[in-house]
Every structure is written in structure tokens, then in C-alpha cells.
Amino acid sequence: MGRKWNNIKEKKASKDANTSRIYAKFGRELYVAAKQGEPDPELNQVLKMVVERAKTYNVPRAIIDRAIEKAKGGAEENYDELRYEGFGPNGSMVIVDALTNNVNRTASEVRAAFGKNGGNMGVSGSVAYMFDATAVFALEGKTADDVLELLMEADVEVRDIMEEEETVIVYAEPDQFHAVQEAFKNAGITEFSVAELTMLAQNDVTLDPDAQAQFEKMIDALEDLEDVQQVYHNVDLGE
């Protein structure tokens, strides 16, 4: 799991460095989650999860509240949730999740981001079967043994717990996200460096320097798209 954690850290660092872009993406995701259920995180588990994720990226409370208030106000912006799958150099695989109010525009932009950077879009299902939906939590100030004990006491099952550089990382099934979060909350743990639902590759690939540079350019192009919320891949980006 160490290589997977390296990629999660890399992704987190990249997003932290682009605050205005990540704020806008979370604003859209919060609005959609609030529109799909009650506009109250305590009554809407999907919205609550997005709020918790937003906090780990230091999204200001004002932005979170504004998105929820917009949904409460009856705004009629409608977004479709879309998933695109594609390939980069040398067996690399990519999943792109988007929220869009213009499907044709988004499909065209995603296709172009792949094509201009040595990749190509695949059909639905061509890549996703090689990834596992996973809940990931990362926290500091505890040991792996501490975390294992508190989760066992709460009768919460997880896939794996590892410790790296004074950070404990917990991997769990997606439907255990709230159970894990609640177990931590009951133990007085409410701050996480990562609290995500992500897609983890079953097998990573390593690219030569030239191919990796091209691949990272493609990922940057995809993440720069306004409608793209998340990009997942199977490339080991190293330390």
C-alpha cells in the first residue's frame, strides 16, 4: 500500500497548491450533494462526506456555507455526474470523474486533453475494473496499533492500516466511510490530513522519465478542466 499512499500524497499536495481551483470544484460538488438530498450535513450523509473532505483541503467555511445556501435557495443549476476512462503511455490507465451542465462540451474537452498528451479515451468499463473504490483516512498523533484498537472496539472492519512517516493510513470499503469516521469521532479524533473516497489501482505501473513527464502533463491538463472533479490513475509517481 505504500506506493498507493505516495500517489495519494502527491495528489493532495497538487490540489493544495491550486487553492482557487479546488475551492471552485468543491463548491460545485457541495451544491450538487445539497441539491440531491437535504441541504443539511447532519441529515444528508453524502453532503456530510463532501464537507469533511473539503475541510481536509482547508476550504473556507464561507465557501462551504455559500454552496449549501445556494442549494437551499432553490437555484436551478443542473449537473450530470459523468465518468470517463482512458489510457496514457505504456499501459497507464486513467479514470476521470466530472460534474457538468454541458455533456458535449465536457466530453470534447476530456477527449482533447487525452489526445493532445499522448493518451486516448476508452469505452465505459475499459479501465474501471482495474481499480477498487476505497475509503482512505490519514491522521497524525496516533500509532497504527492505537488506530487498530479503537476500530476493533468500535467493531469497524477495514482493509488495511499502515504507518508511514508518523502518519497512520486506513483503507476501508467505501460503505464503511461513515462508520470509520464515527469511530474516530467517538475517540476524539476529528482532524485528518486525508478523508477521501478514492479509486485505487489494483496494480501500479512505472514509466520511464520521458513517458512519466508526458503522463503528468496529461493529468495536469485533465485536472485543469473546469468540469473535472477527480482524476485517478495507476502510475507510480515515486517519492
Give the contacts of 46 (CB within 8 A, at least 6 positions apart). Answer: 33, 36, 37
pLDDT at site 13:
62
Given a cut of 70, the residues of the chain with pLDDT beneath it are 1-18, 238-239
The reported pLDDT for the residue numbered 43 is 92
Calculate the dihedral angle through the C-alpha atoms of 105, 108, 114, 120, rounding to the nearest 10 degrees: 140
Domains of the chain, start order? 2-72 (1.10.10.200), 80-129+203-233 (3.30.70.980), 130-201 (3.30.70.980)
* Cβ atoms of 180 and 158 closer than 8 Å: yes
pLDDT in tens, 11-56: 666 655 567 888 999 999 999 999 988 899 999 989 998 998 898 8
